Amino acid sequence: MLKKPEWIKAKIDLTRGEFAHTSRIVNTSGISTVCEEAFCPNITECWGWGTATFMIMGDTCTRGCKFCAVKTSKNPLPLDPEEPLKLAKAIKKLGLKYVVITSVDRDDLPDYGANHFALSIREIKRHNPNILIEVLTPDFKGEKELIETVVKEEPNVYGHNIETVKRLTPHVRDRRASYEQSLKVLKTVKKINPNMITKSSIILGLGESKEEIIETMKDLLEAKVEILTIGQYLQPTKKHYPVKRYVPPEEFEELKEIGEEMGFKKVFSGPLVRSSYRAAEIFLSKEISENR
């Protein structure tokens, strides 16, 4: 296992006043956060500012991507019908103005969880009328009507992650996921609602080349994606896909410049960047605001 360089070590700060408040509400609400389940390195920073990315449909995924820390099972527990309401109430208690809602994959469900996603958005809006919502969804196996179920609830940002370059996808992601299917999801969102802002993410250090990263950027731009985040892959356990390389900060900065020159409205790129990191800041930025 490669030794982590200094730039990859997250800053741990438990002194921010909102951290304990956020932690208490999250841990007593009966809901999950991707901050905890995916071992996110930015948890203390985000929770310290009173923000979190919520993970719905339980904490167990039906897929087994080799880079992901979330636990897996062919038969997760049934959906909690009260989860959308619990989530909405927790967000209200936290006083959030911007939330990110993601989920595990639920291939065991007839609709892969699309209606539960839609209901969660609806409940959040009902209890938090002025909330801004970003979703980070599974691929719903590329089925248009299921993607449309979520789009019709009008989240402010629709995210779906491409994760890695085309060549590495079969080696890194679950066999039920594919590079083409992820692009199809993003394209479908735009076909349903051309004005909806779309977002995707690439993780580096899996063995990709610079040329492959740029090719992935081109494919995402062809799918009309506006926001791109790029971060370093961190191996959750020894059983997961190994880190092939720790990408230095200057290369992340170069990719940010390349991406924005290519046409992305906003590229957030850095070793500890994750798909939902500082999501509100990106959405409210001048580059995105002017195009809404």
In a domain, 227, yes or no: yes
Q: How far apart are CA 257 and CA 250, in angstroms?
A: 11
In a domain, 205, yes or no: yes
CA angle (43, 207, 134) in 5-degree steps: 35
User: What is the pLDDT at residue 236?
Assistant: 87
Phi, psi dihedrals of residue 69, rounded to the nearest 5° = -85, -15
Q: pTM for the whole thing?
A: 0.90
Q: How far apart are CA 103 and CA 97, in angstroms?
A: 20
Q: How far apart are CA 276 and CA 115, in angstroms?
A: 22
Taking the mean position of all CA atoms in its chain, how far away is CA 21?
23
User: What is the pLDDT at residue 4?
Assistant: 84
Taking the mean position of all CA atoms in its chain, how far away is CA 27?
21
User: What is the pLDDT at residue 191?
Assistant: 98
Close Cβ partners of 247 (under 8 Å, ≥ 6 residues apart)? 204, 205, 232, 271
The tally of domains found in the chain comes to: 1
Q: How far apart are CA 115 and CA 81, in angstroms?
A: 11
In a domain, 223, yes or no: yes
Kindly report the CATH number assigned to the domain that includes residue 201.
Answer: 3.20.20.70
Helix 17-28 to helix 83-94 angle (10° resolution) is 160
In a domain, 254, yes or no: yes
State the distance between the two ends of the chain, measured CA to CA, in whole angstroms: 44
Helix 179-192 to helix 210-222 angle (10° resolution) is 30
User: What is the pLDDT at residue 69?
Assistant: 83
Strands (E), 105-257: 132-136, 157-159, 197-204, 227-232
Q: How far apart are CA 17 and CA 187, in angstroms?
A: 41
In a domain, 2, yes or no: no
In a domain, 263, yes or no: yes
Task: Domain of residue 29: give its range.
Answer: 8-289
In a domain, 197, yes or no: yes
In a domain, 168, yes or no: yes
Q: How far apart are CA 154 and CA 150, in angstroms?
A: 7
User: What is the pLDDT at residue 194?
Assistant: 97
User: What is the pLDDT at residue 7?
Assistant: 79
User: What is the pLDDT at residue 37?
Assistant: 47
In which residue ranges of the chain is pLDDT below 70?
A: 1, 9-52, 277-292
